[in-house]
């Protein structure tokens, strides 16, 4: 219905009849308004080449191009936007969506040239007279956002609920939460380059928005056959380079991966992933160890049609994922979901078989066309300080193994843990739970050489350990385990003034004048793990090349100097599940290449 004011409003223009006209005496030197939308400028140092500006431009006036002076690094594509003013309509959406606020529009609007190509340039790279202008269009206000800067919180058990329980802490996203979080993705792809497995992250996140989770699962399996596991314990380096993290919180990529895997039931995997299409050939491959790299290699080889058998030392598959990570972080039924699907493809696992003891590497070579070894790092390392040979000084890896198996272990009233990595946090939090169950209180202290700002443990692990009652006191170097009457009484430490020397080598220094004693009657060392190469013997071992740090040397396909023998996982690039998965994928391609060449 037309209102009276709608009819009369055009006549208000007559008010201007009696106003004096404005005359621009020198139109060529006319200054634009301070927030005028003129030609673009880009702060090259702030720009990460995410391409958000290019993707939002409906006129295709912006394309991303390589710039010789910009280096491609983690979190920076090395590309920079080039603007074509034959297409640009000065809408400023490119500025409004810029993830780092590097792109702005100056208030300069005059540009004369006879060459049309001049009007296509790379702001910030191609010098222009307006590069130093401070006025122009910028994002209007801090709360003027196209994307939600804060991530959707993951529901978790509270400290009181979890401090005496091994029930999984993280509860997982609901459908509404996952879709809301997925909406924050700007599809820049910087995460793909940083992920060791180069997963199609933007593509599978898009399936959450499109409610096509079966397609999401298929995309994940192209590069990662352990999505349930990785969706819980991946180190999520991809999130550290997320474009959204420059002004807000990075996308919860790991939890979205978990959401997709959780929503696809195990009994549907065969249908979803078209597993019945495998044609088996006559080549056989043996795999030593069923950790991340071994399972990944097995999966991709089986998909290629090879007959695959895994030889596993323990009674269940998973390696350090099962025997080194507590169930409150990674429930073992979720390991089984990933493993059982790989087994359903025809991969075999022979359990309780230690290569080098129950069967030799030479015997495997005689029966199989190629061998892959992903034996992991199960052996704990010791500080070897005075008192470290006491019966109540333990290695974290061994204790975590026993906790996983449900075996009873010694749990003292006062415990000291040495170490600053995730394994140290895992054993700290596990023993805190056992203390609470046994004594009704928690009295555990964890110390490390590293100060808190450089501790290698994930920040969330440190925060959650403190929430659960553990004391974390970093920056101290262990000097001696104090023993009186054959009982541990504490740990003498000195302030650590440096962990690495000027050349980056591990070479700690201590302040002898700054010393104290941590009280405790049990010590656990979690300063790192070592590999067990006891199965490499005699002539075979002599043929293998090791680097100065004692790691095996392999080529880009993880093939050793013995052509039929491949290595991967923690013993090459670990400890890190996603690296193990990536190693396995590449090793499978290498084994396929080797066997095809020798057919």
Domain shared by 520 and 551, yes or no: no
523 in any annotated domain? yes
Q: Rg of the Cα trace of the chain?
A: 30
Domain shared by 523 and 536, yes or no: no
pLDDT recorded at residue 277: 79
Where does a domain end: 256, 271, 286? 271
Residue in the block written with tokens 């405790």: 520
463 in any annotated domain? yes
Which distant-in-sequence residues (6+ apart) come within 8 Å of 597 by Cβ? Answer: none
pLDDT recorded at residue 24: 67
Report the domain count for the chain.
Answer: 4
Per-residue pLDDT of the chain (599 residues; tens, 9 = 90+): 566 666 667 767 677 777 777 676 776 677 888 899 999 999 999 999 999 999 999 999 999 999 999 999 999 999 999 999 999 999 999 999 999 999 999 999 989 888 989 999 999 999 999 999 889 999 876 667 888 899 999 999 999 999 999 999 999 999 999 999 999 999 999 999 999 999 999 999 999 999 999 999 999 999 999 999 999 999 999 999 999 999 999 999 999 999 999 999 999 999 999 887 789 999 999 999 999 999 999 999 999 999 999 999 999 999 999 999 999 999 999 999 999 999 999 999 999 999 999 999 999 999 999 999 999 888 888 999 999 999 999 999 999 999 999 999 999 999 999 999 999 999 999 999 999 999 999 999 999 999 999 999 999 999 999 999 999 999 999 999 999 999 999 999 999 999 999 888 889 999 999 999 999 999 999 998 888 888 998 888 889 988 867 778 999 999 999 999 999 999 898 788 999 999 999 999 999 999 999 87
Q: Compute the distance between CA of residue 585 and CA of residue 580 in angstroms, rounded to an integer.
A: 9
Query: Which CATH number does the domain housing residue 468 bear?
Result: 3.50.50.60
Domain shared by 100 and 128, yes or no: yes
* Host domain of residue 99: 24-137
Domain shared by 427 and 340, yes or no: no
Domain shared by 42 and 109, yes or no: yes
Q: Compute the distance between CA of residue 423 and CA of residue 119 in angstroms, rounded to an integer.
A: 57
Domain shared by 224 and 320, yes or no: no
Domain shared by 55 and 183, yes or no: no
Domain shared by 518 and 390, yes or no: yes
471 in any annotated domain? yes
The model carries a pTM of 0.90
Domain shared by 545 and 485, yes or no: no
Where does a domain end: 242, 271, 300? 271
Domain shared by 133 and 199, yes or no: no
Question: Helix axis angle, 396-405 relative to 422-439, nearest 10°?
Answer: 50
Where does a domain end: 474, 506, 529? 529
303 in any annotated domain? yes
1 in any annotated domain? no
Closest Cα to residue 187, out of 314, 50, 287, 294? 50
Which distant-in-sequence residues (6+ apart) come within 8 Å of 596 by Cβ? Answer: none
For residue 575, say if its preceding peptide bond is cis, omega within 30 degrees of 0: yes
Cβ contact 516:370 at 8 Å: no
100 in any annotated domain? yes
Domain shared by 393 and 518, yes or no: yes
150 in any annotated domain? no
3 in any annotated domain? no
pLDDT recorded at residue 546: 85
CA count, 13 A, side-chain hemisphere, 296? 32
Q: Compute the distance between CA of residue 187 and CA of residue 99 in angstroms, rounded to an integer.
A: 12
Query: Which CATH number does the domain housing residue 205 bear?
Result: 1.10.1060.10
Domain shared by 523 and 413, yes or no: yes
């Amino acid at each position: 219905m037309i209102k009276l004011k709608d009819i009369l409003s055009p006549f208000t223009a007559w008010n201007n009849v009696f106003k004096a006209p404005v005359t621009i005496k020198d139109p060529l030197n006319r200054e634009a308004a301070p927030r005028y939308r003129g030609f673009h400028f880009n702060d090259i140092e702030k720009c990460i080449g995410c391409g958000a500006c290019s993707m939002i431009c409906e006129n295709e006036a912006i394309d991303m191009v390589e710039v010789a002076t910009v280096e491609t690094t983690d979190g920076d594509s090395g590309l920079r936007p080039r603007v074509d003013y034959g297409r640009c309509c000065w809408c400023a959406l490119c500025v409004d969506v810029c993830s780092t606020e590097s792109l702005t529009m100056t208030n300069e609007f005059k540009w004369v040239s006879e060459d049309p190509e001049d009007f296509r340039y790379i702001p910030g790279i191609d010098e222009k007279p307006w590069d130093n202008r401070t006025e122009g269009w910028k994002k209007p206000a801090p709360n003027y956002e196209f994307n939600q800067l804060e991530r959707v919180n993951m529901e978790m058990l509270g400290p009181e609920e979890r401090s005496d329980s091994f029930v999984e802490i993280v509860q997982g996203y609901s459908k509404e939460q996952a879709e809301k979080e997925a909406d924050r993705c700007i599809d820049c792809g910087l995460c793909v380059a940083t992920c060791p497995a180069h997963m199609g992250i933007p593509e599978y996140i898009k399936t959450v928005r499109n409610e096509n989770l079966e397609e999401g699962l298929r995309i994940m399996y192209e590069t990662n056959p352990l999505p349930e596991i990785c969706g819980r314990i991946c180190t999520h380096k991809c999130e550290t380079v997320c474009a959204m993290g420059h002004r807000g919180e990075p996308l919860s990529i790991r939890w979205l991966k978990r959401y997709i895997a959780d929503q696809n039931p195990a009994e549907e995997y065969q249908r979803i992933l078209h597993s019945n299409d495998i044609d088996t050939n006559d080549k056989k491959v043996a795999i030593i160890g069923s950790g991340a790299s071994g399972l990944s290699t097995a999966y991709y080889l089986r998909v290629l049609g090879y007959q695959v058998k895994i030889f596993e030392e323990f009674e269940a598959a998973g390696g350090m994922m099962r025997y080194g990570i507590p169930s409150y972080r990674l429930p073992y039924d979720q390991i089984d979901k990933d493993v059982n699907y790989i087994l359903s493809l025809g991969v075999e696992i022979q359990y309780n078989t230690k290569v080098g003891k129950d069967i030799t590497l030479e015997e495997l070579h005689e029966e199989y066309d190629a061998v892959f070894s992903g034996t992991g790092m199960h052996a704990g390392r010791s500080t070897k300080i005075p008192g470290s040979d006491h019966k109540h000084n333990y290695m974290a890896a061994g204790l975590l193994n026993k906790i996983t198996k449900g075996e009873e272990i010694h749990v003292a009233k006062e415990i000291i843990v040495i170490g600053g990595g995730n394994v140290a946090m895992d054993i700290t939090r596990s023993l805190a739970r056992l203390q609470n169950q046994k004594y009704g209180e928690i009295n555990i202290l964890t110390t490390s050489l590293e100060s808190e700002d450089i501790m290698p443990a994930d920040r969330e692990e440190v925060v959650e350990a403190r929430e659960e009652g553990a004391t974390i006191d970093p920056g101290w170097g262990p000097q001696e385990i104090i023993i009186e009457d054959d009982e541990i009484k504490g740990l003498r430490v000195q302030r650590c003034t440096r962990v690495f020397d000027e050349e980056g080598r591990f070479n700690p220094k201590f302040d002898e004048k700054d010393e104290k004693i941590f009280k405790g009657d049990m010590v656990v060392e979690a300063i790192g793990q070592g590999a067990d190469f006891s199965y490499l013997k005699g002539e075979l071992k002599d043929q293998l090349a090791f680097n100065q740090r004692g790691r095996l040397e392999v080529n880009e396909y993880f093939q050793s100097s013995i052509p039929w023998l491949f290595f991967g996982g923690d013993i090459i690039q670990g400890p890190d599940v996603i690296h193990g998965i990536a190693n396995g994928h590449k090793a499978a391609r290498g084994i396929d290449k080797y066997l095809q060449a020798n057919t």
